[in-house]
Structures are given as structure tokens and as C-alpha cells.
Chains A and B, each alone.
Chain A
């Protein structure tokens, strides 16, 4: 966060106390959202959020800020639709402008199989409360000026798309800061540059955390870590079905026209949206090998650019301004993992892969409900860690988009 914005939001940094009711590891979107909802919905404010570096400095500041609920299975549509609704009123609720902009999302398909899949998606979405419609190529031509409906000289003909009305973007840093500010105003301690190096255990119960600034005891410890979650869970002896992969993205220089929709093509393997500054933001697949390195590469720029200009020829006039990499905790079924672990007093919210930003409000709200009531909310019950051993995985790979 730069000094200018630090002056705009009223962040009161806390000093760590020896003991808290709830300690949340990870000052990213999900950790701050959990603290925010604990404070606002349940009046639980004896809470610390511990962040290794600075808030929103991990993957909450590296994502591509898409908010949507066009998933393929009922459990996921319901959950993400809740998040869409919470995002809609987050500005009003926090009094902070998060640059939330609902602009519609198009998932373009280039094959008959894709047409069938997107028609099915539209039906599932409508049945569970999201607004998605299948649109024909001529409509797409109207919604997306400049698209080549006969992309790649006919190799990737645009055969239709599912149009998701709730598709939106927001400024990710502002979401983090708004939630941090809201939590801090109510007495939550957000503590930066504090790394959790171990967990204090008593039998099969986590009783606190060991940090580089001393031990902190806690009634409940929540891991809202992105990236290094496998190592944090291992401190409690919990094994996770997670592999951490890099995901790269880039933005171009300013595009002089409005490009309203968020556009994705799974077959071509890319998605683009226009940022508030007018830059065109492009993203693609995760890298195949697990890594924590945040390294970016030239191969990504060249291959993604080639695929984007196949469908959007006007993008060839733009220049890549900068690129970056985040890391994604990929779960085997492409659905998140939220709730209890086999260790008492140790809760987890992880498996946010390439779909974590959109879930920040609903994920935090549900985790706060779980902590406050000690009952797993119905909304997230299907996303429990034990679903893999119980033969109840929530396979939804097709809805992760380009992942």
C-alpha cells in the first residue's frame, strides 16, 4: 500500500497481545474478511490477523479481480451467488469505494461440445439464483465490438457464449483495505510483518501460534493462508489435498475505447477485461509445476498475446506494460476447502486456486459464522476437508475457467 492510500483509509495497526479469542493466519482477503465479519456480524473483536508481510501483499493483490457466480454445480452457484450479493453492497456497508463495476461476463465457445456445456451452465445458474443466458454469435458481435467471429481464419469460429450478467470486477487492494479498516475500527488487531513459525498444541488441540514476535495463545486458530498453506497445516499435523501452482497475468498500455464485458475463451485459454485505467488485463492458465517462486517469463507473454489477438485482433496494437505472478492453491476437484480440520481449534479456508477473490465476502462470512456459532453453515458444509475421504468431491473443473 502506498502512502497516499494509507492516508485515505484509517488503519490503526495493533500491537500483538499475549492472548486472543481468535487468531487468523494470513492478512489477505479471506483472513481480513473473516475478521471483518466476526466483528460486524457477531461482535467478536478480540481477534488478531497475523500477516507475514503486508496486508493484501500475497495473492489478494495478484489476482485478476473477476467476480462471478456462473459455476456448474448447485453448491458452488449458491455459494458464489452469495458472494456476488455481498460484493454488491460492500461499498455501502464499508463506506469505501472498491471500484465495483458490474459489466457482464462472456464465456465464448468455439465447438459444438462447448455450446452444449454453456447451455447447461446457463440452466444450472438460473435454477440456483444466478443470471446466465446463452447468446448467439450475432449478439456477441454487438456486445464485443472488435471481436473476430471467424477467429483464426475459421479455426476458432465463435459459436456462442454464456453471458453472465453478474460478472463484475473490483479493485482488489481496496477490497482488502476496506475490510481491514472495518475490522480495525471495531477493535480487531491486524498485525503485519509477523510470521507464524509454529502452532502451540495441547494433545489434538491447537492452543495458539508461535510467531517471530513471540507466542500468542488463542481459542481458535484459522488458517486463511494463500500459497504456503501446506506448510501451515503441517504444523498442526494436517495433510492437505493442495498443490501450489504459479499463475501469470499481464496488463497492456491504455486502450482508447471502452471495452465493457469480461471476456473469456476456454478453448483459446485466455480471459481479458479492461481495468479502470483503461489497460487491458489478460490472464491464462496456471503453470504445470508446483512452485512458490513468483517468477514470470517471456513465454507467457508471447503465447497469451498470440491467443488473445486470434479472437481480438485490435489488441495487436497494444503493448504489454507489465506482468506478474501469483500462486494458486489448487484442490483436486477445483472447489475450495472450508471448515474444520481433524485438529480441534484449527479451522482452515484454502483451495482457493484461481477463484479466491470472488469468494472473499462469502468465504469470510461463512468462516465467521462457523467460529461464532460453532456450527458449520449450510452454505459451506459441502466444502469440508473430509469430502475427499468420504467420496464426496465437488468436481467443477469446467467452471474454474482458464485455470
Chain B
């Protein structure tokens, strides 16, 4: 994939410089503590559409940033 991510410190850089980080989000309706643990450990939202995620600029300024990306098109929304 030839995605580019804009780092506020380094500018627009290719995705290969970054490390991906999922932002975990256990749905509200799961209230049982054990079920929440299982969900957090194994389950994923895996959305088709905009998703908020973290990227670490490993081969750059070594800072985490949060972006929004559309998983259907890989377009970075902001």
C-alpha cells in the first residue's frame, strides 16, 4: 500500500516509516467484567469505513499520533 501519513513534526512521510497501533474500544453494551476482558483481549471492531488509529513514527521523530483513515479506500481523513 502506498499510503502516506502526515506527521505534525516531520511532514508527509511514507507509511513504511510508521508502526501501526490499534485504539481498542470495547462496546458500551458489554458490561460484564469478564466479557469485557475477553473482548479487550481478542475482539476487534474491524470497521469498514472511517477508523481512528494510532501510528508511531519509528523511523522519524519517534512520536505517536492519532489519525482518522477510511479502511475502504485508505484515504487519510485527518
Contacts and interface: CB of A to CB of B under 8 A. Distances in A.
Given A288-B19, A289-B20, A231 B48 contact: yes
B39 A239 contact: yes
Given A288-B20, A293-B72, A243 B44 contact: yes
A382 to B, nearest CB: 16
A298 interface: yes
A335 to B, nearest CB: 12
Interface of A: 228, 230-231, 239-244, 246, 248, 287-293, 295-300, 303, 325, 332, 388-389, 393
B73 interface: yes
Contacts of B46: 230, 240, 242-244, 290
A241 B48 contact: no
Interface in B3-21: 3, 14-16, 19-20
B31 interface: no
B43 to A, nearest CB: 5
A228 B19 contact: no
B66 interface: no
Contacts, number: 76
B2 A228 contact: no
A289 B75 CA distance: 13
A241 B43 contact: yes
A12 B64 CA distance: 54
B1 interface: yes
6 contacts: A290-B22, A290-B44, A291-B74, A299-B1, A388-B41, A389-B38
A292 B48 contact: yes
A299 B14 contact: yes
Nearest to A303: B16
